[in-house]
Amino acid sequence: MTALFPSDIIERARRVVAGCRTHGLSLVTAESCTGGLIAAAITEIPGASDIFERGMVTYSNEAKIELLSVAEETLVGHGAVSEAVARAMAEGAIANSAAVLSVAVTGIAGPSGGSPEKPVGLVYLACARKGQPTLHRREIFPGDRTAVRLATTAAALDLLLKRMA
């Protein structure tokens, strides 16, 4: 474990940085429930500046609209924690940056904020790459707020690795 992350997350981040470097990909993150942890994990790797273009923490709906061009209708129609919003965040991150690869996450880390339809631990992840279909993943992670946020970070790095394959 480094000062910030467990070793499994650092290993995933190393693989993401190496894969981006190998394939000549620049990366942007768009994060809600993780509050920047994905960007932090990536930038924990020496040399990440070669591939990491920027990270956007878009916690509020207003930030999702302003920074990622998520349509207000999408937020109202589906809710901030939804597949549609995760996809729009990932695609908007690419549209509003110089990067060609993005990952986006939105979810309910808890301990409050859940409902029967959208329980605590529910996370939607999306990964976009210019010229390719956007990948999506829905998860319900167990545990407390920290566990949900770390599991989301690991899953986002896994999704990036899948998109590079």
Nearest to 128 by CA among 96, 72, 89: 89
pLDDT more than 70, % of the chain: 98
99 pLDDT band, cuts 50/70/90, is: very high
- What is the predicted pLDDT for the residue at 9? 98
CB neighbour burial string for 134-165, b if at least 16 within 10 angstroms, e if fewer: bbbbeeebeeeeeebbbbbbbbbbbbbeebbe
Helix-helix angle 145-164:7-23, to 10 degrees: 30
Mean pLDDT throughout 135-147?
97
Q: Does domain 7-164 have CATH number 3.30.390.10?
A: no
Phi, psi of 136 (to 5 degrees): -140, 150
CA–CA dist 155, 106 (Å, integer): 12
156 pLDDT band, cuts 50/70/90, is: very high
Per domain, the residue ranges of the chain are 7-164
pLDDT tens for residues 9-32? 999 999 999 999 999 999 999 999
Average pLDDT, the chain: 96
pLDDT of 1 above 60 = no
What is the separation of C-alpha 55 from the centre of its chain, rounded to a whole number of angstroms? 9
The pTM for the full model equals 0.96
